[in-house]
Amino acid sequence: MRRVSVRNTLGETLTLDVLDYSMGGMALVSRKPFDQGEVLQLDTMMTLDGERRQMDIKAEIRYVRCQSEEYTLGIAFI
């Protein structure tokens, strides 16, 4: 599973699972709720072979869906 390290608007760093990604955004999974419209700073992404890749991308949360005790986030790169 790919993972991405993000910073939220409070400056907290969190590691989230990546469900899917494209040129325009990502679908992420979190145990912590987020707000639609919040901007995240994506710092690093772990590849399938365990390598960490630096990122410097901002993304806006476009949707949040609660599923059991997890949240699926749809983010768009800005």
* Residues of the chain below pLDDT 50: none
d(CA 32, CA 6): 12
Q: Domains of the chain (ranges plus CATH)?
A: 3-77 (2.40.10.220)
Tell me the whole-structure pTM to 2 decimals. 0.89
What's the pLDDT at 50? 84
pLDDT at 63: 97
Convert 34-61 to b/e letters by CB count within 10 Å (16 or more is b).
Answer: beeeeebbbbbbbeeeeeeeeeebebeb
- Per-residue confidence (pLDDT) for residue 19, from 0 to 100: 94
